[in-house]
Structure 1
Amino acid sequence: MNEYIYNFKKYRPLLKELVLRDIKLKYRRSVLGILWSILNPLLMMLVLTIVFSTLFKRSIDNFPVYLLCGRIIFDFYSQSTREAMTSIVSNGILIRKVYIPKYIFPISKGISTFVNLLFSLIALFIVMIVTNVKITWAIMLIPLPLIYIFIFSIGIGLTLAAYTVFFRDIVHLYSVVLTAWMYLTPLFYPVEIIPDSFKFVIYLNPLYYIIECFREIVLYGQIISLQKHLICILISLFSIVFGIIVFKKKQDKFILYI
């Protein structure tokens, strides 16, 4: 463990450069630049609100904020894990030439995507103000669900990155999984419309609990219950520990497949 901590500190400048590179590449030749990270969730929210608000307007108070809370968390998870899963393969030339701790690459993808998430929060606060959401002191707890989803996503990203080196078809399969996962997560519909016999599917979804914590703080101005905190902590810790174990076990064989 001390060796990993030492290596992480030693290669921290490289991690910083990789994150900056990802951010620059994302907005290269973009007229709007970083502003697009704010406009994109706003435009998506506007479209989905027009489509779904008439269906669920009686079930969901302040549908735009409800929707945006879910989309911000899910989109971060989706983007960070998709980019992390190909991070080893896409940096194969660099890995073959010099020694670099390989976990640096999926972690850098998670961090750069997290920066985009922070810009998306600006869009969220704009919508909160426009829709007259009551902002309470509970908003100070907003970093907690963000930390949970970050750790959870890094863990999944490490696992996917490790297996993608050996099974490239995972990239295509994971796109299907993400689509199904999106519809099985209450992003634009209330949990109440799900029949009781199928609600267990929602409750087995780890993103459901993180999104609910985020909504309770942002939309309802409530303090998250200890039970939900513990669930999110356990989900995040299991993900990161499992990801580290899998990645460490597989990393020595990467050089043979990239």
Structure 2
Amino acid sequence: MKMQARYMQNFLKYRYLLIQLVMKDFKIKYKRSFLGIVWSLLNPLFSMIILTLVFSTLFKSNIPNFPVYFLCGSVLFNYFSESTSLALSSIYSNSSLIKKVYFPKYMFPLSKNLFSLVNLLVSFIAVLLVMVVTGARFYSSALLFFIPVIYLFIFTAGISLILSCAAVFFRDLAHLYSVCIMALNFLTPIFYPIDILPVTVRTIVEINPLTQAIEMLRQLILLNELPTLEQNLSLFLFASITFIIGVFIFYKKQDRFILYI
């Protein structure tokens, strides 16, 4: 308990630094950009239009309101992909700062997660606009959209801690991870219905926590269904265990970062 209290005090002490790191990411990404953060809204919209034209005919009998179905999957997957990819290089890319000043090193991957989370929340405006344009029905259950987002944030933070730590010792991980993200994109039912998959592949896809979060969001927004207790427990446990593993690995290895960055 004393250790947990110390970590919490340390986090609160450096919370302003975390805010500054997030703001720095926004300034860098949208520097000299005319539309700025609006691109977080436009990117999923453009992707939705392109993929709707390509796949709506193919899946029109399987997926009612394909544009909203696609966006629910796309915004969550893009959040995971962006935040973990940015977090992967967050330690060694800030080596000069880490060598000069002491502060909790986990602030770097965590700031990437928060930066991408803001982009995700802006992207939900795109989901709302498409629902209006397509005439989708608005259900009160959609107000609980934050539940799968919270689960996914915890899971993503754990993966980010693991990746940022591993990349310090194995720089080729950045190239390998881009391939993994591409594979994961096809193993997550973003633009296709999960029931078209063979049983063996479907089992693997259903275990994927990204799939669970996306399906939960679609239940809330498209089907007016509340997630079951089993769904919540499954995703919460998966996210929590991943986060705990990430914290443990990061804590054990962080003192060696200075030797490799």
User: TM-score over 0.5 for the alignment?
Assistant: yes
The counterpart of 1:42, out of the listed 16, 26, 45, is: 45
Q: CA deviation at 1:225?
A: 1.2
Which residue number corresponds to residue 148 of structure 2?
Answer: 145
Query: 1:81-230, aligned counterparts within 5 Å?
Result: 81-230=84-233
- Work out whether 1:26 is the aligned partner of 2:29: yes
Q: Deviations over 1:101-149 (max 9, x none)?
A: 0000000000011001111000010001111221121112111011111
TM-score, normalization: structure 2? Answer: 0.97
* Percent of pairs with identical residues: 49
- Tell me how far 1:221 sits from its aligned partner: 1.9
Per-residue CA distance 1:223-253 (angstroms, 9 max, x = gap): 1111111111011101110100010011000
How far residue 192 of structure 1 moved from its aligned partner, in angstroms, is: 1.0
Shift of 1:49: 0.7
SS at match of 1:91: helix
Q: Encode CA deviations 1:197-228: one digit per residue, 9 max, x unaligned.
A: 32211122111101100111111121111111
* Letter aligned with residue 203 of structure 2: F
Root-mean-square deviation (Å): 0.8
In the TM superposition, structure 1's runs of 4+ consecutive aligned residues that sit over 3 Å from their partners are: none
Which TM-score applies when normalising by structure 1? 0.98
In the alignment of these two chains, the number of paired residues is 258
- Provide the secondary structure at the position in 1 that maps to 2:36: coil
Match of 2:234 in 1: 231
Which one-letter code corresponds to 1:204 in the other structure?
I
Distance 2:191 2:145 in 1: 21
Unmatched runs of 5 consecutive residues or more in structure 1: none
Q: State the AA in 1 paired with 2:18.
A: L
> What secondary structure is seen at the aligned counterpart in 2 of 1:28?
coil
Distance (whole Å) between structure 1 residues aligned to residue 238 and residue 199 of structure 2: 24
Gaps of 5+ in 2: none
